[in-house]
Structure formats: C-alpha cells, structure tokens
C-alpha cells in the first residue's frame, strides 16, 4: 500500500539565519533584515524555534533526523531541494537563488545516498535559468500520482512538465496571484495533500484554473478550504505526518493554528489525532516560510 504521508522527517539546524536578499524579490511573505536586530540574535531566536518544532514533532512519536547547516546558506533551515520516494530513490532539484544552490552539500547528499539511490538530478538546469524547487514547487498526491504546481519564478512550467513526464505523474499546472499581485512563489504556501483531505486556498488561483483544480482535488479527497487572508498566516504551509502507531497529525506554526477558526479546527479533527504547532515567528518573518518549508519527508 502506498503511503501519502511519512513517519520520518528531515530537518536542518541552521548554522546561520537571516533574511536572504537573493530570495526577497520572489518571496512576498519574507521581510528584509531588521537592522535593530543583529544577525546573531535572529539566529538565536530561529534556533530556539527550530528546536521547539522538532521537539513537539518527536513528542508525538514521529521520527526526526536533523543535520547541521552551513554558514553560507541563510535558508538552509528549509530543506526543499530534494525529494525521497517509497522505492528508496531520491532526486535533487534546481534552486533559483545562487546561495540556495549551495545547500545541496556533499555531506547531506552522501547521507541520503546511504539509504536512497539517486534517480534524478535537475541541478544542471540552474545554469539555464530553469528552476523547480522540489517539495515546495510541487505538492504531491503520492497515492494517485498527481502533482499540483503553481507556475512562478521558482516553478518553471516546462521543467515541471518534463519532470512529471519523466516520472509518470499527472500534472495539474495552474497560475496564482498573491496579495502583492504577482505569482505565489511556492505551491506549498497555499495547499497541502493528506491521506484523506486536501487543504487549499482557491481564492489565490486565477479564475480560469479554479474549476480544473477543484475537480481534481475533489476526485480523491475531502477538501479543507483556506481563506486568502489565512495564507498570510501560513495556514497553507502545513504538512501531514504519521507516527509509529500510524496515527495522523497535521504540523503547522502556532501563528497558523491561531488563525484557524473554531469550526476549521473541528473540521480538521476529523482527520487528525492532533494539530502539532509551535512558535515560528522569527523564521516566518525573515525566511518567508513556515512549518512545511522546514520539513522534508524520508520515505
């Protein structure tokens, strides 16, 4: 039986953390560096938040493997440059920011190679200006072999089509608009796929694509609708995971959790034993990403 969700997650403890100037242009949820706070202070706060989320995940019986980031990578805390699969293969992807390309360290690739066989590597497309940022650009329905992808500066249409064709995944490709009027940089900002339910914000999808996406997400799943205003609180940047007892959890930030209505929390309780949440204020502010961005799945 194929698993939609993993019981083993991968995290990267930041060696440095601050607002990455190379990602500001396309990430509309990221803030510039606050000059009143030294980078060392921002890093300290981020590290506390990192450990807080990691501990809460582990407390619920979900395994976490973490590695230490490197000093040249302010976004190393977001390990969205690779994907693993249940057939014990993994693939590497092309990253838009030059300092994010350094995140694919030999140490981490060698670690993955201990348990997975490398079956694809899109790194060469970085030099061609074509980017596809793995689990952030593509949201996977692994059971039904469907990829949801919103085209953007970090999710190139043709490269996404190529990947899906090469890997036998049906592609649902569409376009979005953020609160600033441009495309949303990553698909996982506004949607996630679980075993029984898909969380998604239809409001940010351009009108001509809404029916296409709605028809597909309702084919195999119940739908949990997220309001456009809740995207700013990272409600869409969530991840389903399961523990060793095959109990299912939804992981998000405390900001996202607090932005959910009581009725929404009741709706999610039908699918999850618990919503795991932790304070990620600093990481969300300066990184422009939240809980899902901090986690990758080891299948």
pLDDT tens for each residue of the chain, 299 residues long: 799 999 999 999 999 999 877 665 666 555 675 655 678 889 999 999 999 999 999 999 999 999 999 999 999 999 999 999 999 999 999 999 999 999 999 999 999 999 999 999 999 999 999 999 999 999 999 999 999 999 999 999 999 999 999 999 999 999 999 988 899 999 999 999 999 999 999 999 999 999 999 999 999 999 999 999 999 999 999 999 999 999 999 999 999 999 999 999 999 999 999 999 999 999 999 999 999 999 999 99
**C-alpha dihedral, 197 to 199 to 202 to 204, nearest 10°:** -160
Q: Token pair of 243, please?
A: 């523990």
What per-residue confidence (pLDDT) applies to 28? 58
What per-residue confidence (pLDDT) applies to 29? 56
**Is residue 150 in some structural domain?**
yes
Q: For strands 239-242 and 89-92, give the pairing.
A: unpaired
**Is residue 275 in some structural domain?**
yes
**Is residue 241 in some structural domain?**
yes
**Is residue 110 in some structural domain?**
yes
**Is residue 101 in some structural domain?**
yes
Q: Token pair of 234, please?
A: 């990272």
Nearest to 205, CA basis, from 194, 223, 195, 222 = 223
Backbone angles phi, psi at 192, to 5 degrees: -145, 155
**Is residue 52 in some structural domain?**
yes
Tell me if residue 293 falls in helix, strand or coil. helix
What per-residue confidence (pLDDT) applies to 39? 81
**Is residue 286 in some structural domain?**
yes
What per-residue confidence (pLDDT) applies to 33? 59
Number of structural domains found in the chain: 1
How distant, in Å, are the alpha carbons of 3, 52, 296 from that of 272? 16, 21, 19
**Entry field: residues in the chain:** 299
**Is residue 16 in some structural domain?**
yes
Q: Token pair of 214, please?
A: 């709605």
Model pTM score: 0.95
Q: What CATH number did the domain enclosing 279 receive?
A: 3.75.10.10
Instruction: Please check whether residue 14 is in contact with residue 43, taking contact to mean a CB–CB distance below 8 angstroms.
Output: yes
Range of the domain at 188: 8-297
Give the largest Cα separation in the chain, rounded: 52
What per-residue confidence (pLDDT) applies to 19? 82
pLDDT digit string, tens, across residues 227-262: 999 999 999 999 999 999 999 999 999 999 999 999
């Amino acid at each position: 039986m194929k698993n939609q969700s993993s019981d083993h997650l991968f995290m990267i403890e930041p060696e440095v953390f601050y607002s990455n100037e190379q990602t500001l242009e396309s990430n509309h949820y990221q803030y510039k560096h606050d000059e009143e706070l030294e980078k060392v202070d921002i890093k300290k706060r981020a590290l506390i938040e990192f450990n807080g989320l990691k501990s809460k995940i582990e407390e619920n019986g979900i395994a976490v493997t973490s590695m230490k980031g490197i000093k040249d990578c302010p976004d190393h805390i977001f390990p969205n440059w690779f994907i693993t699969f249940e057939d014990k293969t993994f693939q590497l992807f092309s990253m838009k920011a030059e300092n994010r390309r350094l995140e694919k360290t030999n140490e981490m690739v060698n670690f993955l190679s201990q348990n997975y066989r490398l079956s694809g590597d899109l790194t060469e497309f970085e030099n061609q200006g074509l980017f596809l940022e793995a689990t952030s650009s593509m949201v996977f329905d692994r059971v039904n072999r469907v990829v949801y992808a919103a085209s953007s500066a970090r999710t190139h249409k043709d490269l996404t089509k190529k990947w899906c064709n090469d890997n036998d995944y049906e592609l649902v490709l569409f376009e979005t608009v953020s609160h600033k009027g441009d495309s949303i940089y990553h698909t996982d900002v506004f949607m996630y796929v679980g075993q029984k339910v898909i969380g998604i914000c239809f409001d940010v999808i351009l009108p001509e694509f809404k029916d296409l996406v709605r028809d597909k997400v309702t084919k195999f799943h119940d739908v949990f609708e997220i309001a456009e205003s809740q995207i700013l609180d990272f409600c869409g940047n969530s991840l389903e995971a399961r523990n060793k007892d095959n109990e299912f959890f939804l992981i998000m930030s405390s900001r996202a959790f607090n932005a959910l209505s009581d009725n929404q929390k009741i709706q999610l309780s039908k699918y999850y034993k618990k919503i795991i949440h932790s304070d990620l204020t600093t990481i969300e502010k300066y990184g422009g990403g939240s809980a899902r961005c901090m986690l990758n799945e080891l299948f």
